[in-house]
Amino acid sequence: MATKRFSHSLIDLHQVNELLAHEEKGCIAGYVIQLRQTGVVLFVKASVLLKRHFMGEGSISAEDSDVQIIGSMLHLDLGKLFCS
């Protein structure tokens, strides 16, 4: 099923807690999410994922201000993760 959004219900709390431990030490840690319908690839920090997990219902989209668009599957710009 193609999608423009990533459901909060897909956020695994155990994964987020592990990523958060790395983020708190200064590492870049989070989910890289491909929105198949649009082809957009997002990066969502672990701290944002934690907040979103506890929001319950809802989803993440490319229009959200707390996510970072890092390109498409054909052109990823991972350098954007180091410039934010």
The amino acid at 54: F
Q: 3-state class of 11 per DSSP?
A: coil
Q: What is the pLDDT of residues 40-80, one digit of tens each?
A: 999 999 999 999 888 887 899 999 999 999 999 889 888 88
Cβ-contact 77, 68 below 8 angstroms: no
- Tell whether the model's pLDDT for residue 81 goes beyond 90: no
- Of 3, 50, 4, 1, nearest to 24 by C-alpha is 50
Q: 3-state class of 68 per DSSP?
A: strand
What CA–CA distance (Å, rounded) separates 37 from 7?
A: 14
Q: Which pLDDT band holds residue 1 (cuts at 50, 70, 90)?
A: very low
Q: How many structural domains comprise the chain?
A: 1
State the residue range of the domain holding 45.
5-82
Task: List all residues 6 or more positions away from 39 whose beta carbon is below 8 Å from its beta carbon.
Answer: 72, 73, 74
Q: What is the pLDDT of residues 4-53, one digit of tens each?
A: 888 888 889 999 999 999 999 999 999 999 998 888 999 999 999 999 88
